[in-house]
Chain A
Amino acid sequence: MGFSTRQIHAGVEPDPVTGSILTPIYQSTTYVQPSVDEYLSKGFSYSRSGNPTVSALQRKLADLEGGVETACFGTGMGAVHATMLAFLSAGDHAIVSDVAYGGTYRLCTKVLSRFGLEFTFADTSDPDDVRKSVRKNTKLFLTETPANPTMKCSDIAAISEIAKKQGAVHAVDNTFLTPYYQRPLELGADLAIHSTTKYMDGHNATVGGAVVSRTQEQADAVRFIQNSTGSIMSPQVAWLTLQGIKTLSVRMDRQSANAMAIAEFLEAHPKVEQVAYPGLKSFAQHELSKRQASGFGAMLWFEVKGGLAAGKRLMDSVELWTLAENLGSVESLITHPVTMTHADVEPEERARVGIIDGLVRLSVGLEDADDLIDALKKALEQA
C-alpha cells in the first residue's frame, strides 16, 4: 500500500470492544491478568514494558521505515542513548558524525566517556574519513543525514557497507527527512533513529523518540536496554504522535515546497552571503541527496552579510518566525545554533565542522510561503 495510506492505517485497528475508530489512550500503569497461569496472555503487564497505545505507534513506525520492530522513547536523546547502550560496552568504540546534533555530541563526550566508551567524530560526508577512523573495537556507526544544522549529507549505503565489513551496527538518525523521503534500512543501515518530537508529531505538542530495527536480534537488544533503564514514551504522547503522523506526507510535501521557495528567495537576496539547502543546485551534495532521498525536507540555513551581529539583529526583528529550539513542526522556527542548540559544543569544534557564528537555521513550517518570505524580506532590510 502507498505511504499515505499506511501513515493513516498501519499498526492501528478499530477497538475490538467498542468499535472506536481510534486507538484508545490507555492511560494505565498496570493490567489485570486473567490467572497466574495466563500471565501476559493478553500481552501487557506493566506500562514500562509495554502499553497498547504506545504499541500501536511502534507498529506504525516499523511499517513506515520497513523494519521489524520499534522501541519508542520519552525523547529522541533517550533513543540515541539506548542505541549506544545496546550496542556498546566498556572498551568499545563508536564512530559518530562530527556534525551530529549538539546533544548527541554532549552525551558522547561528557557522559558515556565516563563509562569507558570511546568515540571518534568523523566527517561522515566523506566515506574515506569514516574508513580511516575504524578501529578493531569499532561496534557502532552513528550518522545523521542531513546533519543538524550544517545540512551536510552522509552516503548511507557507503557507510553501511563499511559497517557491514566491520561487523558493526550502522544507526542513522532519520529525523530530518522521515521515512516518507528517506528509508535508511532499505539503503543497508541497521537502525533508523527518530526524534518523533519533530515531523512525526509536527505540531510542537509532544517530546518523543524511536529506534526502528532491521532484525529481531537488534530489536531485542534495544528493548532489553529500554526495559532495564526505563526510558519510555507515555501513552498520551504516543496517541498524539499517532494523530500527527496521519498528515506526515502532506505536511512534508508542503513544508518542503515552502522551504524550496524560501531557499530560492534567500539565494537571490543581496544581503545573504550563502544558503545551504539540499534542494538547491548550488548545494555541494545535491546529487547525493537526490539519490538517497525522494525529497529535500524543510530545514535549511543561511548566513547574513555582517556576521553574528547582523544575524542577531535579523532574528530579534523578524516577525511570524518564532525564535525557539525544536524543528519540524507546522510553526516556522528560526534558531541561532551557536547560542542555542550547539552552545555546548566547543568553539574550535564548531568551527571545524562548519557551524559558523553567523549561521541562522530555519525550520520551515506550514504557513503561507508568501507570509514567511515577506517576514524575512522585512527582517533582512533591518539586518
Chain B
Amino acid sequence: MSGFYRFDTLALHAGQTVDPEFGARAAPIYQTTSYVFPDTDTASSIFNLERGGHAYSRITNPTVGVLEQRIAALEGGSAAVCTSSGMAATFCAITAILGQGDHIVASSQMYGGNISLMKNTLPRFGITATFVDPTDLDGLQKAIGENTKLIYGELIGNPGLDIMDLEAVAEIADASRVPFMVDATFNTPYLCRCLDYGANITIHSVTKWMGGHGAAIGGAIVDGGNFDWGRDGRFPTITEPYAPFQGINFWEEFGPSAFATRIRAEAMRDFGASMAPMNAFLLLQGLETLSLRMDRHLDNTRAMLDYLSGHPQVKWVNHPDLPEHRSHELAKKYLPKGAGSIVSFGIEGGRDAGRAFIENLELASHLANVGDAKTLIIHPATTTHSRIDAEALVAAGITEDMLRLSVGLEDVDDLKADFEQGFRAAKKVGG
C-alpha cells in the first residue's frame, strides 16, 4: 500500500481483520460477556493496561472494536470509544475531564438532550454551563472563565441550522487552553471531518446517519489526539496518576489516545454505558453505505428545497445551502458536499395546518428521530413542544407553523407526491 486508503474503502475495511480462525468475511458477532485467558500473566497484563486485549465486554468487545476503529479511521482520530447511545457518549466524554467546580461554554443551538444534560443534570454534580449563540464569537470568548474546561458545540445547530465556525472557535479554545468538543452527528465524517479544522474531540449519535437504518441505538467518542493535555495542570484526570490502575498516567503512557484510554478505563468500567455487539454489527452494516446514503440524502434534500421554496403554501424554508441562510458562507466552507439533510419550513395556516399536513402524509413517518433511511417529519408545536405557549415557543426558536423534516432516501418524486396530499389537507383547515 502506498498512500492511504480513501474514505469509501475505509468505510468497508477499516478496523477489521478477516477472521483468522475460519476466514469469515463479515465481522463475527462476538455475543459474549467475557474471555478466557491463556494464563494469569496475560490476564494481569490486560487488567493493568500493559497489553491490549479483551477481558469483559463492558470495557471492550471485538465486534464493537471493529466499529470503533472504523469510526476513528473515518474521522482521522487516534482512537474511538463506542457507547450505548449518543447521550452516553456526551456524558462520558464530559465527565472524563470535568469535575465539581468546572465550567462549560456551550452553544445555545444544540440537540435538546445535550442542553438538558448541561442545564439540568451536570449542575447537580457541580459542573455548570453557559450557553452562547454559536455564531457570536465575541460572546463565546467572553463566556470563558477561569474554571472553563470545555467548549462544546454542534457544527450544524438545532433548530436554526446555524453553522459553527470551527476554525475560529478552535482558535479561541486553543488560546484559552481548553479542548473543543463537537457533536458531529448531523454532518458525519463524510460531510465534514471536524478534527481537521481544529476540534479536539467529536461526539456521535451513531444511531442517526452513520447507522442509517433506524435499527440500533449507539454513540461514539472520537479522540482527535491533537490536544496538549500536559500543557498545564488543568486536566489532572488525564495527566495525574490514576489510582484504580496502579497509578497509571494516561498522558505519559498513551499520548495521542490518552483521553480515549481514560474513558475506557473509567467511564466504560464505572458507568458501564457500553455498546452491545449486535448493535455494533448492525451499525457497521449501515456505515458500509454511509457515503452512498449521504449523497442520496443530499440529492433528495436539494430537490425538496427547490420544491418547498416554490410552493405557495410554504411561508419560509430554512437550510444552510440556501443563499439567504445567514450561515450560507460557512456552510460552503465546512460542508461543501451539502449541509445535511435536515430542513425546517413554515406552513401557511399555523398550528392546525401543521397538524393536518402531518396527519395526511403516508410515506413520511411522523416521529422524533432524525437521520433514518426513511423520511421523517415532526411538527414541534403539537408534539415535542405542545405543552408550552406561543411566547415560550419563540424563545426556544420554534414557531407554530414550523415543520422539521429529515429527508430520507425514497424516490423524491414519491416524497413530493406525498407532500402534495399533505398540503391539500392543510389547505382545508385554513392553510
Contact = CB atoms under 8 A, between A and B. Distances in A.
Interface of A: 1-5, 8-9, 14, 19, 21-22, 203-205, 240, 243-244, 246-247, 250-251, 254, 319-320, 322, 324, 326, 329-331, 365-368, 370-371
B56 interface: no
Contacts of A3: 411
A204 B413 CA distance: 32
A370 to B, nearest CB: 7
| Closest 7 A/B residue pairs (Cβ) | A2-B411, A5-B411, A368-B6, A5-B410, A250-B292, A5-B414, A204-B25
A205 B26 contact: yes
B410 A4 contact: yes
Given A329-B25, A331-B25, A366-B288, A4 B411 contact: yes
Given A203-B288, A320-B9, 6 more contacts: A4-B410, A5-B410, A251-B289, A322-B25, A330-B289, A368-B8
Contact of A330 (B12, B214, B409, B411): B12
Given A243-B285, A330-B289, A367-B12, A8 B6 contact: no
B121 to A, nearest CB: 28
B28 to A, nearest CB: 11
A368 B190 CA distance: 14
A205 B365 contact: no
Contact of A247 (B5, B292, B367): B292
B363 interface: yes
A246 B373 contact: yes
B119 interface: no
Interface of B: 1, 5-9, 12-13, 18, 23, 25-26, 213-215, 282, 285, 288-289, 292-293, 295-296, 363, 365, 367, 372-374, 408-411, 413-414
A294 B76 CA distance: 39
A82 B9 CA distance: 38
Contact of B215 (A9, A243, A251, A326): A243
Contact of A22 (B9, B215, B292): B215
B242 to A, nearest CB: 40
Contacts of B282: 243
Contact of A250 (B9, B289, B363, B410): B289
A367 B8 contact: yes
A82 B184 CA distance: 50
B363 A5 contact: yes
Contact of B372 (A21, A204, A250, A254): A21
Q: Is the interface of B mostly helix, strand, loop or mixed?
A: loop
A246 B410 CA distance: 9
B214 A365 contact: no
13 contacts: A2-B410, A2-B414, A8-B374, A8-B410, A21-B372, A22-B213, A247-B409, A251-B289, A254-B292, A322-B18, A331-B13, A367-B8, A367-B13
Given A5-B410, A22-B215, A330 B9 contact: no
Contact of A21 (B9, B363, B365): B365
Residue among A5, A367, A370 with max Cβ neighbours from chain B (10 Å): A5
B12 A8 contact: no
A247 B289 contact: yes
Nearest to B411: A2
B413 A366 contact: no
Nearest to B286: A243
Nearest to A253: B292
Contacts of A254: 292
Contacts of A5: 363, 410-411, 414
B293 A250 contact: yes
Nearest to A244: B285
B211 to A, nearest CB: 10
B214 A366 contact: no
Contacts of B8: 366-368, 371
A322 B289 CA distance: 19
Nearest to B16: A331
Contacts of B408: 8
Contact of B214 (A19, A22, A319): A22
Contacts of B296: 250
